[in-house]
Each structure stands twice: as structure tokens, then as C-alpha cells.
Amino acid sequence: MKEKVVLAYSGGLDTTTIIPWLKENFGYDVVCCCVDVGQGNELDGLEQRAKLSGASKLYIENVIDEFCDDFVMPCVQAGAVYEHKYLLGTSMARPVIAKKLVEIARKEGAVAICHGATGKGNDQIRFELSITALAPDLKIIAPWRMTDIWTLQSREDEIQYCKAHGIDLPFDMSQSYSRDRNLWHISHEGLELEDPSLEPNYNHLLMLTVPPEKAPDEPEYVTMTFEKGIPTSVNGKKMKVSAIIEELNALGGKHGIGIVDIVENRVVGMKSHGIYETPGGTILVEAYQQLEELVMDRATMEVKKDLGNKLAQVVYEGKWFTPLREAIQAFVSSTAQDMTGTVKFRLYKGNIIKAGTTSPNSLYSESLASFTTGDLYDHHDADGFINLFGLPLKVRAMNKMRAKEKESSK
């Protein structure tokens, strides 16, 4: 009986080519696994394509709700944003995909897992660290790094390889953007984006959103509710998290929300230029932060900001299945327990404009914040506070004065 390998399968040219390549070079029985994190119509026709390419079986595993509930929301609650802009769309999806690949490998009794990530990108790290953390006994095959036996250098090479192995599928020979899509976002790389001095061709590349200048001339009000850090409704309609993200994608895309142009630092050491479309995610993160502003105390917010930045780095580097991620998430989950309330805002030509926030856990007191003197705040108390708060500055200044006087008396 042949040994089995589980291939992370997207249905694209790369992973389709890998099927006959694995059989030819390793003699494996190839089991394909496509993990659905919200790719939409990219999944159409996958079963026929995998079978025609020589796979013995194809799994299509829907993990959209798990992705949103267990991977996206912890990052939203943490305010995890990589290098001030990137909302971690691809980074969050890779560990849940790897988790499912390991489950299928165990079910099939496979000895290895294969992925089609390139040797220059972040995904190879994210897949392999996750697989190693969950199944250290499984072999990992990365064809693009095996240059002694993976000799294909272009799309044309791959198409010819497939045809030589009896696989004649209608792959497009033309060059296009390299994209990654899930329910949270779409990323774009390649073509003019490889030169950061050029303006992106938004009219050509955008798929979820419209450019802000093409958004409606009238703003649209949106109201969201949260319960213990979890979004529960949009405009009065109760929905699960994945449905809320889908609804916010439609609203945000309509109004040109969530287009990010970034030159980021990859884990492998190089910089890369890409465009991210995250309309619903941008709205969700902003709405959560608006609620947080009202509810969270200053000291907790300061620590959470630092931990949010650390979590962004941890997730970006593929270290989801680590004690550090678990510890940060435990802190963030604790802070989320008070995040209950209603957030209202306007969407207008790429902007999210506040329109009122309420919470039963609000720390905002109108009587304290107003210029009138309330019962809880005595203005005279500020005298002693300022004296103590500024004591180190005063001592330092006095020391400098003494030193200056001593110097001038010589």
C-alpha cells in the first residue's frame, strides 16, 4: 500500500501541478484538502479538478465559523495590527488551515503534509510552525524549496508539466495579481505593485471595495451591538460573527472602507509591497475600539496596547500555537468581559465617523468630565497630586540649579 500525503489544495495552477509531481517523485497517494475560510467561488469545480489531476480524494472542509470565532475575534479584541496597518487576514487564516490539514492527515493515516507556499514568503513559516506544533511526527514537503527536483520556474513550465502528465486544464497563461482571499480580506501582490514608486491601479485590482471617490455621496449610518467583546448585531439584526463580517464587508465595500497600501517587513527579511482590502474587518476593529475607549481604564489600556502589538507580531510570524499567544489571549479575553454596548457610526467615502457610543460599563462620567464641580471631584485635590506627580522633575531641576550655581561660583 502506498504512503499517503495530504496536500493543502487551492485548485490553482501551483497546487494542481504538485499532485502529479508528488506521485512521480515520491510515489505517494495524494489526498487533497481544501480548507474553506471564505474563499467564495474559488471553490467551484475543485473536486473534478483534483480528481483529473490524479488525487485519490478531496476534502473540502468548512471552518469559516471557527476561523471567525477562535482566530479573528481574539485579534480584534487585542487590537492586533501588524506595522500599524495590516489586519492579519492571511496570518490568522494559516493556523486554522494547518489545524485542519493535521486532522485530515491523522484521519487518513498520512505520513506527510505538503504545501505550495514559496521559499520567499511568510506562509511557509506559518504552515510549518503550526504543523510542527500540532504534529511533530509528520513530514513536511515544500516543493518550491526543493530546487533539485522541483525545476519548474514559471506558469508556462507548470502548464506544460501538467499537459505532459495528461492534465489539460483551462489555466490562464496571462499574468495577473497574486491574491489570497478569505472572509476577512483579500490581499494583492504582483504586477505594478512590485514597484512601490507606482500608483496602484485600483480600478483594476479591487474586488471587495470601491475607491473612496467612487463611493456614494451620501453617508450611511450603522449601529452595532457587542456582548462581552463579541459583536452580536448590525442595524438591529442579530447574527453570528461570520455573518456580521460578511454584512460589514458589503457595507464597507460600498463606501470604500478598508483599503491599505503597505510596504511591510516579511519574516524572511525582505520587504514586500501589497494592497489589502479589509472592509468589514476595518469597521469591526474600529467599532470595538470605540467601545473600548468608553469602558477601559487607562492602565489596562496601556498594557493591552503593548500586548496587542506583540500579538500582531506573534501571529504574523506563524506562532499561533505557542504559550505566548495563549497567555496574551488570556489577558485580552479578560479585558473583553466588560465590552458590552452599542456603537453607532457613519460610513462615508473611506471614513468611519463616530455617531455615539453607549455601554452599561462606561467609565465616562458627564459630571466628572464637565467644567462644573461634581461631588466626586474637588479641584483642590489636584494641588497635592501635581506636587507628587511632578516631584522627580522638581528634584532633578533643583539638582541642576545647584550644580550651575556651584560652577558659576568657581
**HSE-CB of 190 using CA atoms within 13 angstroms:** 11
Return the SS3 of 254.
Answer: helix
- CA 317, 84, 339, 341 dihedral sign is negative
In angstroms, the CA 188 to CA 259 distance is: 11
- Picking from 38, 25, 59, the residue whose alpha carbon sits closest to that of residue 150 is 25
CB 96 within 8 A of CB 66: yes
Per DSSP, 209 falls in state -
Catalytic status, residue 91: no
Strand partners, 276: 187, 260
Helix (H) or strand (E) holding 335: helix 323-336
Q: Given 49, 94, 126, 181, which residue is catalytic?
A: 94
Q: What's the CA gap between 78 and 307, in Å, rounded?
A: 7
Identify the residue whose cell numbers are 514597484.
195
Catalytic pick among 29, 36, 123, 338: 123
Residue 310 grid coordinates: 506583540
Active site residue 123: yes
Distances (CA, A) of 116 to 30, 58, 127, 305, 340: 14, 16, 10, 35, 42
Give dist(CA 130, CA 318) in Å, integer.
7
For the question of residue 381 being annotated catalytic, the response is no
DSSP bridge partners of 224: 234, 343
Assign residue 392 a region (left: φ > 0; alpha: ψ between -120 and 50; beta: otherwise).
alpha
Who contacts 156 (Cβ-Cβ below 8 Å, separation ≥6)? Answer: 173
Residue 317 to residue 325: CA distance in whole angstroms? 11
**Out of 14, 29, 36, 180, which one is annotated catalytic?**
14
Asked about 157 being catalytic, the answer comes back as no
Q: Which residue in 178, 272, 333, 362 is the catalytic one?
A: 178
Positions annotated as catalytic residues are: 14, 94, 123, 178
